[in-house]
Chain A
Amino acid sequence: MPLLTATEVTYTYPDGRHALQGVNLKIYPGEKVGLLGLNGAGKSTLLLCLAGVLWPRGEITVQGVSLSRQTRRQIGPKVGLLFQDPNDQLFMTTVFEDVAFGPQNLGLPLNQVEERVSQALAMVGAADFTQRFTHHLSFGEKKRVALATILAMEPDLLLLDEPTSNLDPKRRRELLDIIAQRPQAMLIATHDLAMAQAVCSRIIILEQGLVVADGSTDLLNDESLLQKHELI
């Protein structure tokens, strides 16, 4: 059974912009899928829809449950979305509180919360950030902490919106390791073809709100395809 399915997902922004025009895709447990496409292709919009932030037409199911306003609370903890802009993600005052927010709401006892927080922060190389103010972090640091807030929830599916943007080479490498090691399924929107090549088993190319290619990572070796979709 697929972990996530999207059927004819169509989204039009309130200002009339057609961002998604009937997207179909399935993601299976443990799969790492790269989501490629030009600026404005609809990658972020798609991830927002899949996480239940935006409400598109069409159907989205997670582990067989159809995503709706009634089921979002139940599905929410299973799907972790890393926003493209970490300022949307970090809302508590200190890093510890922010990362602890999710686990606390899951109703875990304090010692488990603390354990998850320190594990998640250690994973993103931010172990000593706990008492820092989230709004005083640099962009790359915010991005890493934002990732930690999601890892601490231990979701089954990670939706990552440009996880490597603004990371220094060292952090980028570490992030690739995290992605490769985590057992969860991931859908990763990115312009970083090298990352897609390194960690993804499957590639989806989005163009003007439509899936125009969906296949194994070998697609990235197909120069004419990449040229056709202006990815190189």
Chain B
Amino acid sequence: MLQPESKTLAIVFYILAVVLDPVLPLWRIVGYLLFLLFFAVLSRASILKIIKRSFFLIPFLLVILIFNALPGGIGPRVYLLLGKGWLAAFGLAALAVSTDFVRLIKGLQRLGLPNVLIQLLTFMYRYLDLLVAEVRRMEIARNQRFFGRGYLRQFTVLGNMLGNLFLRTFERGERVYVAMQLRGFQGYLPITKVAYSWQDYCLVIGALATLALLGVSIICPY
């Protein structure tokens, strides 16, 4: 079982390599893809899912394409941008597919990311859902008694609901904070220690090796 922090580190190194690559020759693309394959196998992520997930980049790539290809046609610069973009997207997709958000945050915490950021991410994730659920409940409650008489009225109702939502969230926030204090909260979320397996080391070393390979091939091309 891979730990999220080694996966994060590996992908960071991998993306660093991709971004730093000045020319992106075919053999190195094959190399990068091989590393991703290695990643997918070690983390038991489905390759099909990774490819699907990487499609999130299409809109961004299209924009890049339009702005860069229109003036000069598809030259080496555009090829480089698209290639790097997609390889990086593959990397992020691989991380996203193989690790759920909660474990990812845990990993970042163990990597030593600032405490404030970790708390923000943790509670955002925990309460976003609650907030959405609260809005949905209010909406349902409204729709059961409100039959859309006039636009103007609708806006006053909406205004009321937003105010109400703010109050509810605010007061809940206070109660939850006290609930945390009652259980001894002193400003730090507890860190759970984990053990690293050989797969973790392999993965990070593999990513470093990819980066190193790039470095060597840039310094002495043949």
Binding site for B on A (CB under 8 A): 51-53, 72-73, 76-77, 79-81, 83, 87-89, 91-94, 97, 100-102, 104-106, 110, 133-135, 149, 153
CA distance A93 to B128 in the complex (A): 11
Q: Is the CB of B176 within 8 A of A53?
A: no
With known contacts A88-B175, A135-B126, A76–B181 Cβ distance under 8 A = yes
Q: Is the CB of B179 within 8 A of A106?
A: no
Instruction: Provide the residues of chain A in CB contact with B193, threshold 8 Å.
Output: 110
Instruction: Provide the residues of chain A in CB contact with B126, threshold 8 Å.
Output: 91-93, 134-135
Pairs A–B under 8 Å by Cβ, sample size 26: A51-B182, A52-B182, A53-B175, A76-B181, A76-B183, A77-B184, A79-B182, A83-B179, A88-B175, A89-B176, A91-B126, A91-B176, A93-B122, A101-B180, A101-B185, A101-B190, A102-B183, A102-B184, A105-B183, A105-B190, A110-B192, A135-B126, A135-B129, A135-B130, A135-B133, A153-B183
Most buried by A among B102, B172, B193: B102
Instruction: Provide the residues of chain B in CB contact with A51, threshold 8 Å.
Output: 182
Which parts of B174-208 form the interface with A (CB within 8 Å)?
A: 175-176, 178-186, 190, 192-193
Q: Is the CB of B181 within 8 A of A93?
A: no
CA distance A176 to B58 in the complex (A): 58
CA distance A2 to B190 in the complex (A): 34
CA distance A97 to B125 in the complex (A): 14
Q: Which single residue of chain A is at the shortest CB-CB distance from B101?
A: A93
Least Cβ distance of A41 to chain B in Å? 20
With known contacts A81-B182, A102-B184, A105-B183, A94–B102 Cβ distance under 8 A = yes
Q: Is the CB of A91 within 8 A of B180?
A: yes
Least Cβ distance of A112 to chain B in Å? 13
Instruction: Provide the residues of chain A in CB contact with B147, threshold 8 Å.
Output: none
CA distance A72 to B183 in the complex (A): 11
CA distance A53 to B133 in the complex (A): 25
Q: Is the CB of B175 within 8 A of A83?
A: yes
CA distance A76 to B172 in the complex (A): 19
Least Cβ distance of B218 to chain A in Å? 42
Least Cβ distance of B185 to chain A in Å? 6
Contact with A along B46-83 (1 / 0, CB 8 A): 00000000000000000000000000000000000000
Q: Which single residue of chain B is at the shortest CB-CB distance from A150?
A: B183
Q: Which single residue of chain B is at the shortest CB-CB distance from A54?
A: B178
Instruction: Provide the residues of chain A in CB contact with B179, threshold 8 Å.
Output: 53, 81, 83, 88-89, 91
CA distance A73 to B186 in the complex (A): 9
Cβ of B155 under 8 Å from chain A: no
Q: Which of B172, B181, B186 touches A87 (beta carbons < 8 Å)? A: B172
Q: Which single residue of chain A is at the shortest CB-CB distance from B178?
A: A53
Q: Is the CB of B184 within 8 A of A76?
A: yes
With known contacts A76-B182, A105-B185, A149-B183, A93–B102 Cβ distance under 8 A = yes
Most buried by B among A52, A77, A89, A134: A89
